[in-house]
Amino acid sequence: NSQLNSSYNFDNYIEGDCNRLARSAGYAVATKPGTTSFNPLMVYGGVGLGKTHLVHAIGNHIKSTWPEKFVLYVSSEKFVNQFIESLKTNTVQDFANFYLLVDILIIDDVQFLSGKEKTQEMFFHIFNHLHQSGKQIVMTSDCAPPKLKGLEERLLSRFKWGLTADLQSPDFETRMAIIQKKMQADGIDIPNNVIEYLAYSVDTNVRELEGVLISLIAQSSLNRKEIDLELAKNALKHIIEDVETEVNLDFIQKTVAEYFDVTLDSLKAKTRKKEIVTARQVAMYFAKEFTSHSLKSIGYHFGGRDHSTVIHSVQTVSDLVDTDKKFKASIQELQKKFKVKTG
Ligand code: ADP
Ligand code: MG
């Protein structure tokens, strides 16, 4: 039993700038295990970014090409527990022998080995043996190897023999593609504006994005309602902390537009009229201060502006607050409206 999850494959692993190197190195390893220079292959990245999915995809691909190969997926936690158990029952040799038989060893979350010296010693031994015999080793970790505290230097230096590739947070386009793919796989219709809304709102990691989709599907079937923006906003509330208590961006935009006596639409339009530019910058400033939207998302809600425009706006407003007393008073007045709402 290889412990592989067959639902994680390359077909459903969306490629994007955030994972291109790791994915292609993974694919190379999957088609030529043990014979590329990517041995070991070390994939690292934060939680929910697709490490486990990718390494299962590698294992599944190898297994489907070479059914006779012994591919083993093991979490580091399980590895540690098995090892401890073998110490207790005096079966350490059996433990070692088992791992020495593996053709492709996939070991997930090696940061978990940190501080566990005896287990690391055993892993070092297994690693050396497999590597020398041309067996493929694939590992994941939640941070870059040099930052792996509590791991022996000799082990870390082995990790550098192959290729280390990182996974970044998915960019907007990749998030869109992931949502599309997942909904398609489940045979669920989802309007484009909802996909965009979700892709902009959930910019942390893929697992969280999936959580929102699951909640969205559940609500849709519970309420016997087609998926729409309203439902999507509701689904977000369940997953993302503070979304309820947070002042929302629409409210900020409306309030600021009213205060400066400009239309809501003008905040999102291209116009460079001075009053409008000021109102827009102030609204961005408050969006940054009072919502958890990313700079990119804020830009999007202001007519698809760049995140650097948002940074510039926030800076401009801060500078004005420092230098212009009258302006500062307006900002303070506005701030009260948002603070009350958050409180
Ligand atoms: P990690 O191990 O880094 O914490 P996982 O591999 O468990 O992350 O990924 C979390 C979820 O996100 C999984 O359900 C996985 O299928 C999905 N996922 C991550 N990256 C992608 C991607 N590029 N394409 C499709 N699904 C992805
Ligand atoms: Mg994982």
- The reported pLDDT for the residue numbered 245 is 45
Please give the CATH architecture assigned to the domain spanning 249-342: Orthogonal Bundle (1.10)
Cβ–Cβ under 8 Å, residues 301 and 257: no
- The reported pLDDT for the residue numbered 338 is 77
pLDDT digits (tens, 9 = 90+) for 240-295: 665 444 567 887 998 899 999 999 999 999 999 999 999 999 999 999 988 878 89
Q: Is 131 in the pocket of ligand 1 (CB under 6 A)?
A: no
- The reported pLDDT for the residue numbered 343 is 35
Best residue for ligand 1 mutational test, from 207, 208, 213, 239 (most atoms within 8 Å of Cβ): 207
Task: State how far the Cα of 21 lies from the Cα of 305, in Å rounded to an integer.
Answer: 29
- The reported pLDDT for the residue numbered 243 is 47
Query: So what CATH class is 20-166?
Result: alpha beta
Q: Is 113 in the pocket of ligand 1 (CB under 6 A)?
A: no
CA 50 to chain centroid: 7
Q: Is 143 in the pocket of ligand 1 (CB under 6 A)?
A: no
Instruction: Give the SS3 label for residue 164.
Output: strand
Checking ipTM against 0.95, whether it exceeds it is yes
- Which letter does DSSP use for residue 113 in this model? G
Q: Which ligand is nearest to the CA of 9?
A: 1
The full set of domain ranges for the chain reads 20-166, 172-239, 249-342
- The reported pLDDT for the residue numbered 337 is 76
- The reported pLDDT for the residue numbered 302 is 95
Best residue for ligand 1 mutational test, from 53, 169, 204, 239 (most atoms within 8 Å of Cβ): 53
CATH code of the domain made up of 172-239:
1.10.8.60
Low-confidence ranges of the chain (pLDDT < 70): 240-247, 339-343
pLDDT digits (tens, 9 = 90+) for 51-93: 999 999 999 999 999 999 999 999 999 999 999 999 999 999 9
